[in-house]
Structure 1
Amino acid sequence: MGGHPIGVGAKNARAAARRARENEELRAAGLPVRSAAGAMTEARQDELDAIDPGWCPAWDTAWQRCYRLVQNHVQAGGTLPEAAGDVVVQGEDLGRWVNAQRFGWEQLLPVQQWLLENTLKVTPAGEEERPVKRTQDTIWALNLTAARQFHSREGHLRVPRKHVEHLETEDVLSGRQGGADGPVVVKLGTWLDNVRERTAKLPEQRRADLDQLGMRW
């Protein structure tokens, strides 16, 4: 990304702060106050100054707070947090924040993207990293895998309504071993009850798959 967009944002922000101060001075002197449009509240200025005297409030204070915490961590010799729980500072999960920036890159302002790329070496997530979109067929395959796992272990398919089944792999969805967030949790009991309610609309092959497991219709 060419250029350095921070200067424009900082200039506009400080101009807003200056207008706010000038308005306060006019009020104190009993003089007419110009339009407050574009002025920044004193509370907003204090929030930003507390985070970083060099603030550029083109984004909210929570964003800049996390950015500064990550920057301080890296400058102190730490590695860039890449996963939730990697580094927690002042109650902020820095790994989770970094991931949120990478996967929400398109929603960031250009100046935020510039900061992340040039000061933290954070890059947008690639397509291969994004969660696999589940179709109706893959959702069925996932639930059927859970049903087969339960049947193999218990010898029947009499599943309690509130039972959940934990799958150690998600290869039925992505062709990869292991889900991005660990084991997959399937609400098997609820799913089987829902299947029974729509038996008439169930394709023959899907019904046959469950019949093989002793499904109680």
Structure 2
Amino acid sequence: MIVQGEDLGAWTMAQRVGLGKLTPAQQWMVDSVLGLEPAGEAEQPPARRTQADRWASHLAAARQFHAREGHLNVPRKHVEDVGGVPVKLGGFLDNTRRRASKLTPERHAELEALGMRW
């Protein structure tokens, strides 16, 4: 429900999920005045992936593609399915090429081992 441009459903869920981060007075108001309960385990948002986790999943996709195709000439819009999880490999490789100077030597070497063309 949108009231004066505010999505009340999203706001309510944010209050329930972030209840522990509110001040005691705010917690009292959310509980007593609004009657909202803390969000359950199933309602918690998934944990944010770290950059190292994202790198690992993209590298696994690159290795899978390379093992199957023998190269890393991946179209920009290509999505590689790694264990049932879609990975936007084409965009990742394109962006990595553009930012090659910012890569750590280890990451550069990992892609170099797969025959990455820069």
Q: Which residue of 1 aligns with 2:99?
A: 198
- 1:69-88 counterparts in 2 under 5 A? none
Give the TM-score taking structure 1 as reference length: 0.38
Pairing 1:106–2:17 present: yes
Aligned match for 2:76, one of 161, 165, 172:
161
CA distance in 1, matches of 2:81, 2:56: 14
Identity of aligned residues (%): 48
Q: Is the 8 A contact 2:72 2:114 kept in 1?
A: yes
CA distance in 2, matches of 1:106, 1:193: 36
Name the structure, 1 or 2, with higher relative contact order (CA <8 Å, separation 6+). Answer: 2
CA distance in 1, matches of 2:102, 2:113: 19
Give the TM-score taking structure 2 as reference length: 0.66
Q: Which residue of 2 aligns with 1:213?
A: 114
Q: Which residue of 2 aligns with 1:28?
A: none
Aligned match for 1:144, one of 36, 56, 59:
59
CA distance in 2, matches of 1:112, 1:131: 21
CA distance in 1, matches of 2:101, 2:114: 19
CA distance in 1, matches of 2:61, 2:15: 32
Q: Cα deviation per residue 1:149-208 (whole Å; 9 max; x = unaligned)?
A: 11111121110111011121xxxxxxxxxxxxxx32211111101111111121111111
- Equivalent pairs, count: 95
Structure 1 residue 130, shift from structure 2 partner? 5.0
The SS at the match of 1:185 is: strand
CA distance in 2, matches of 1:208, 1:107: 41
The SS at the match of 1:133 is: coil
CA distance in 2, matches of 1:199, 1:124: 43
Q: Is the 8 A contact 2:63 2:114 kept in 1?
A: yes
- Which stretches in structure 1 are left out of the alignment for 5+ residues? 1-59, 64-99, 115-122, 169-182
Q: Considering only aligned residues, what root-mean-square deviation do their CA atoms show, in Å? A: 2.8
- Which stretches in structure 2 are left out of the alignment for 5+ residues? 1-7, 20-29
